[in-house]
Structure 1
Amino acid sequence: MAARLSSFRQTLSPLISKIEIERKFLPTRPLLHALTRTTTVPALPPSIARAHPATVHFIRDVYYDRHDERLAAEGVWVRRRSVIVGDGCSTSSWEAKVSVGGNFAASQFVEVEGAEAVEREMQRALGGDRVAVDKIGEHLAVMSDLTTRRLSGRLELRYEDDKNDNNGAPLQNLTVAIDQVVETTGGDFAAARAVLERMPARRDGDGDGNLSIHSSPDLFFHEIGELELMEEVRTEAAAFGKSQHEQEHETHRKAVAAARAAQLEAFMRAHAALFPMTPRPRGKLSAYAAWSEERVVAAAR
């Protein structure tokens, strides 16, 4: 029996997922200066060893869903992402972000990449209806088409400050980003990028040092900060079959995501001057939805 059980375990590979924990905040001048080195770098809190200088990416995200927003209701956001980095190199890929907890301001996701993986997530969320990404326009609608200029850097923490942390291993691999977002009018990525390039990398802020967020009836513009933690979750093969293995992996994944989310939020609250969350920050999809609704209301008057 033991030999058969050992042989059965070997037929099941470990399950591995990549989870993404996000916390949004209102961008601040000190953090922007630390990332861009455009002026004297301000003193960072003792728990942050350094902020590695940011790279600049231009990103086009086209989000798809049914008109009844069934995918979003099931916690699945499907997008076609195109990225141009500073040297002009470009990539394009299908991605899906699958919610495992949180909300738009404080999110916990599993990220899947590639056409086949995205198609599987859509089929699961749509109750068995298969949607091929190469024919996605026949089944789903474009819900938003946004272009982002992203300043993205890495925070290096002093891990000894986390010795008494009860939620798990110290935080590592923290990425911080400041996004400026506009609508990709007419699907013209180059034109949207040009709009962002004409805008200053830093905008006037209020007395607390927060950068301003501005949108007008004719131009959608949103500015938001995001602190992100990526982690790989692995579970070994279960003793009694694939379904139990998948269930154990899902349970473990959610537990890790929840613990890391609590750690990240505690870190940000301890450094509220650098990562302010009051008033409540809005992600680009929420901000775009609100702007679109305002345009519809204004047009109806």
Structure 2
Amino acid sequence: MVNFLPLKKAVAETLHDGDTVAFEGFTHLIPTAAAHEAIRQGFSDLTLIRMTPDLIYDQMIGMGMAKKIVFSYLGNPGVGLLRRVRDAIENGFPRPIEVEEHSHAGMANAYEAGAAGLPCAVFRGYRGAGLAAINANIKSITCPFTGEVLAAVPAIRPDVAFIHAQKADRKGNVLVEGIIGIQKEAVLAAKRAVVTVEEVVDSFDDLHPNLTVLPNWTIAAISIVPGGSHPSYTHGYYERDNSAYLEWDEIAADRDRFQAWMQKNVIESSADDFAARVKHLRKAA
């Protein structure tokens, strides 16, 4: 059976220095609370994987936690650059990081291959693009049946995956609603998975069984963290905090201001503070 644990314990028991880890979420359900707990616990030498790294990876890289990032598209959605990531790449501050860039299609197919237990993903992609010239993990392969030349990338198999979801039942099954992105595949591809949820309900008996996106046997631990996706949104629970994304661009532009913000809002904070942060963003489910 899946363990229901406080987030601090769930992170401590599943994540280790040097791990390859995915904090996945696409547009909404970004596992911010889990990322902040990892920052508080001070992990190092991580390989961070995500299709669309935004604020949480800017924060983790800015705190010197990562040795490598595997991604497709780096940015503060609707605003611009990830300034702490750019500082690390261009200036090696606070430490140099290795960069492996892919397309969205490349990342999605690599996650699906990992979830299926395959060594690589084969698909049509990277045609007319220059990524293959700078990424040694983008290869070409000839179809043995048609002779067509296709792209191939290694499967993504994280040591740990963290996602956020709307709810779990008492048995540990997890329901994700709205934009699912690649969260399901990230969990299935990972050796261990932790899910933060808005709430736990008695059961999903009144729902079609196919709506249980992740059965309990796919998950190592579940932590109840209302508001745990802020400043992204959780469909049916609270809206996106657009002002936080705009504010982050100014915070992250200055090294000292970044450190001061992280100390106050992450290091000296806790998972319990997330519910208060989304109070003004809540809407009816």
State the TM bucket, normalised to the shorter chain: under 0.3
Greater Cα radius of gyration, structure 1 or 2: 1
Structure holding more strand per residue: 1
TM-score by length of 2: 0.27
